[in-house]
Structure 1
Amino acid sequence: MDFNLHIDRTRTASYKWDNREAIFGTEDVLPMWVADMDFQAPPAVIRAIRERVEHGVFGYTYPSPAYYESIINWMRTRHNWSIEQEWIKLCPGVVPALSLIVEEFTEPGDQVMIQTPVYPPFYHVVESHGRELVRNPLLEQDGRYSMDFEDMENKMSGGKVKLLILCSPHNPVGRVWTKQELQQLAEVCAKWNVLVVSDEIHADLVFEPGSHIPFASLSEDAAQRSIICTAPSKTFNIAGLNTANMVIPNEELRAKFSQALEKHALGAATPLGLAAAEAAYREGAEWLDALLVHVRGNMDYVRDFCQQHLPEVKAWRPEGTYLLWMDFRALGLEGKELSTFLIAEAKLGLNNGDSFGTDGNGFMRMNLGCTRATVEEAMRRLEAAVRATTILNEK
């Protein structure tokens, strides 16, 4: 569990490291963008995969009772949420599941609400199916975001919003929604008969133990009008194994989702993905706890560095995720201009804030699931670029 051990990821067809030319127009950037950590998976996961590989046969497979048990136990012990095996439906990933849900549970012309700035695929899965996207922008004050319930209810009152995609914890702003916030959301959605699809892929990556509350655990009504999207992929850095689990307490919703899986032939599982996920949920807690300490340390380092050396850049510590939402608005740069500055002058590859929505202009998302040395190098580069630009502007 040495999270400061450098692992060379180049020449492994890494989308994060080996695709820099295609993404940023140059290989000469430090990539700290896509939500993919630079750490090896937990030892138990590597061991489980190795044992499965040594067996040597990789035929068709299915989730075993032990697989389901590992998920049920994890949700109970980590999130105080009791779920049943029949509620769990396997899918290759959360984004494919969101696409299926939008297609299956809404009709062309229906409205789907998202809370911006938010994970870019939320836009795509709505608009690609010909549904009307409705933005419910988060309110930002001094770096802390909150839900705008007045705007939400006003837009739902027309009766056309059929589905709300909740990001919990929120990517990119790092909020872990409180029970009170989630209960108010549930009440509004119940009032206007809106289905809640809660993307909880970052649920395990919270810095206050037990702070994440699964939406379906709020009440029986919330459980019956929601689909909870989970996966071990972000938590244990195994996204490439394409294994996710949708938790759907409502029998009718579950049946419709199963039909969508069958229609698109997406219900199959891979032997390595199942082995890795089960091992992660059974034996990964200690590794995860250590990871969170390391990531929180990285967050504190960047925040303190900005306060001491780069007051023009604001970095508030998130409540969850290993993704830092950074405010560059004081530099007077937005959109492509800001991105170009960071790539050309700071040699940093971050996520453009405006890719999360227009309310992300002037922001960037930095991935801190990396070694401390990487973080220190990134901040050295950023400080040098800002100072050089400041000197040029003064001249």
Structure 2
Amino acid sequence: MKNTEFDFESVIDRNNTNCLKWDCFDDDLPMWVADMDFKVAPAIEKAILKRAMHPIYGYSIVPDELFESYINWWNRRYDFKMLKEDMLYSIGIMPSISSMIRCLTDVGDDILIQSPVYHVFYYVIEENNRKILENELIYENGKYIIDFDDLDEKLSKVKMMILCNPHNPIGKTWSKKDLFKIGQLCTKHNVILISDEIHCDLTDPDIKYNPFEISSNHKKAITCLSPSKSFNVAGFKSSIVHTKNKELFEKIKMQLHVDNSDSCNVFATSTVIAAYNDSEEWLEELKKILFENKRFVRNYLKEELPIIRLVECDATYLLWLDCSSLNISSNELSEYLRFNQGLFLSAGSDFGKNGAGFLRMNIACPKKLLKEGLERLKAGIISLNI
């Protein structure tokens, strides 16, 4: 029996709320950017309203309770035992990664990523005047695996690797074996590894992600964490950076301060604490909803649109759709669906050249919107006359 306290069915009008997803473009149905169209957990809403009742919104400090909420969550759920003295507060994971690129590498350095991967990794590297080196994931029989021979060779050329764990856009949780091997190679080549673990809570039911730090034991590991995806609170701009390496810790601490990225949003503290301390039941119910949505998409494609294949996945609410049989580029297909069906899906080429035959679909929405999106996708593909 579903928990009636949590509403994952109501379609909420987000138009005219300065919403990136719904207000920036004229599309009828945006299923691209990674935020959810569900009401926030009741405990979070209550905490925000309580803080809003105090009529002064000045500068905030980061209390110990916030760090303790992270520590308890990761210890209880993932056996990742963090200490407050190894944690730094930041306004967000990508600002943190940008700061770490600046303080831990030099202009012109190569930084390794595993494509297809979150498109902002490309921007943050290039806009900091560093160069991208890609370890392309191998796609075989509907699954992705790591090319470890290529990774070994390319890690010898870099100071830093950025890992996505779980991986966006392919929705894969990396195994302990994979993470241990990555750690071995990074140790071999003395490479700093930053692990972006923002999607870690959003796995299929009964699946748990493996934190890189405890799976690898790599001594130059840095983990970036945030409740923003798990609890749909990205607008509050809050995250932490964790590393046991004290030399790296001090450099990162200084750079976050220089970049003014270590300050706290007045509502962020209440949000984070309410998420990790009081919203676990909501998250578990959300995971069931996302799993049901994923299964619905899989069945729909199989029965109604078999020319498109859902790539096997076990994490995130972002589905990676193999459209390679259509013989049309992902950019052209994405644009065609937008202008002919009002459906906005992300072009796979945004995530690397090896994503060119794919689309990324955000399924974190009420079933009514998901059905409408799939029907528009089908109508668009049929109208292509391919």
TM range (shorter): over 0.9
Q: Distance in 2 between matches of 1:309 and 1:169?
A: 29
TM-score normalised by length of structure 2: 0.96
* Residue in structure 1 matched with residue 86 of structure 2 by the alignment: 87
Instruction: Please list every run of 5 or more consecutive structure 1 residues that lacks an aligned counterpart in the other structure.
Output: 21-26
Equivalent residue in structure 2 for 1:329, among 324, 333, 338: 324
* Residue in structure 1 matched with residue 273 of structure 2 by the alignment: 278
Q: Distance in 1 between matches of 2:318 and 2:89?
A: 26
8 Å CA contact retained: 1:299, 1:317: no
* Residue in structure 2 matched with residue 201 of structure 1 by the alignment: 198
* Residue in structure 2 matched with residue 155 of structure 1 by the alignment: 154
8 Å CA contact retained: 2:27, 2:344: no
Q: Distance in 2 between matches of 1:49 and 1:9?
A: 19
8 Å CA contact retained: 1:114, 1:135: yes
Q: Distance in 2 between matches of 1:133 and 1:376?
A: 38
Q: Distance in 2 between matches of 1:210 and 1:319?
A: 7
Relative to structure 1, the CA distance from residue 62 to residue 154 in structure 2 (aligned partners, 3 Å threshold; closer, same or farther) is same
* Residue in structure 1 matched with residue 182 of structure 2 by the alignment: 185
Shift of residue 55 of structure 1?
1.6
Shift of residue 203 of structure 1?
0.6
* Residue in structure 2 matched with residue 67 of structure 1 by the alignment: 66
| Mapped pair 1:318 → 2:313 | yes
* Residue in structure 2 matched with residue 17 of structure 1 by the alignment: 22
| Mapped pair 1:31 → 2:30 | yes
Q: Distance in 1 between matches of 2:254 and 2:383?
A: 58
TM-score normalised by length of structure 1: 0.94
Shift of residue 209 of structure 1?
3.6
Equivalent residue in structure 2 for 1:368, among 356, 363, 369: 363
Instruction: Please list every run of 5 or more consecutive structure 2 residues that lacks an aligned counterpart in the other structure.
Output: 1-5
8 Å CA contact retained: 1:78, 1:210: no
8 Å CA contact retained: 2:205, 2:287: no
Q: Distance in 2 between matches of 1:29 and 1:151?
A: 42
Q: Distance in 2 between matches of 1:346 and 1:143?
A: 27
1:11-56 residue CA offsets vs partner (Å, 9 max, x unmatched): 1111100111xxxxxx243100000101121111111111111122
Q: Distance in 2 between matches of 1:236 and 1:340?
A: 30
Q: Distance in 2 between matches of 1:213 and 1:386?
A: 37
1:216-236 residue CA offsets vs partner (Å, 9 max, x unmatched): 1125x42x3111000000000
Paired residue secondary structure (1:17): helix
1:124-183 residue CA offsets vs partner (Å, 9 max, x unmatched): 1111122121000001112211111100111223xx300000000000000100000000
8 Å CA contact retained: 2:91, 2:237: yes
Q: Please, which moves more after superposition, 265-274 or 366-375?
A: 265-274
* Residue in structure 1 matched with residue 112 of structure 2 by the alignment: 113
Number of positions where the alignment pairs a residue of Structure 1 with one of Structure 2: 381
| Mapped pair 1:300 → 2:295 | yes
1:311-350 residue CA offsets vs partner (Å, 9 max, x unmatched): 1111134210000001111111113321222112332101
8 Å CA contact retained: 2:142, 2:311: yes
Q: Distance in 2 between matches of 1:148 and 1:389?
A: 35
Relative to structure 1, the CA distance from residue 127 to residue 389 in structure 2 (aligned partners, 3 Å threshold; closer, same or farther) is closer
Equivalent residue in structure 1 for 2:213, among 216, 232, 251: 216
Shift of residue 210 of structure 1?
5.3
Paired residue secondary structure (1:83): coil
* Residue in structure 1 matched with residue 165 of structure 2 by the alignment: 168
8 Å CA contact retained: 1:300, 1:317: no
Q: Distance in 1 between matches of 2:355 and 2:139?
A: 11
Q: Distance in 2 between matches of 1:231 and 1:180?
A: 25
Q: Distance in 2 between matches of 1:353 and 1:141?
A: 17
Paired residue secondary structure (1:233): coil
- Code of the residue aligned with 2:248 in structure 1: it is L
Paired residue secondary structure (1:11): coil
Please identify runs of 4+ aligned residues in structure 1 that moved more than 6 A: none
- Code of the residue aligned with 1:271 in structure 2: it is V
- Code of the residue aligned with 1:144 in structure 2: it is K
Q: Distance in 1 between matches of 2:330 and 2:166?
A: 25
8 Å CA contact retained: 1:79, 1:210: no
* Residue in structure 2 matched with residue 23 of structure 1 by the alignment: none
Equivalent residue in structure 2 for 1:242, among 229, 234, 237: 237
Q: Distance in 1 between matches of 2:294 and 2:312?
A: 6
8 Å CA contact retained: 1:314, 1:326: yes
1:184-210 residue CA offsets vs partner (Å, 9 max, x unmatched): 100111000011100000011111445
- Code of the residue aligned with 2:43 in structure 1: it is A
1:76-101 residue CA offsets vs partner (Å, 9 max, x unmatched): 11111111011111111101011001
Paired residue secondary structure (2:88): strand
* Residue in structure 1 matched with residue 349 of structure 2 by the alignment: 354
| Mapped pair 1:6 → 2:11 | yes
Shift of residue 382 of structure 1?
1.5
- Code of the residue aligned with 2:341 in structure 1: it is A
Could you say what the CA RMSD is over the residues aligned between the two structures, in angstroms?
1.2
Percentage of pairs with the same residue = 37
Shift of residue 367 of structure 1?
0.4
- Code of the residue aligned with 1:312 in structure 2: it is I
8 Å CA contact retained: 2:88, 2:241: yes
* Residue in structure 2 matched with residue 126 of structure 1 by the alignment: 125
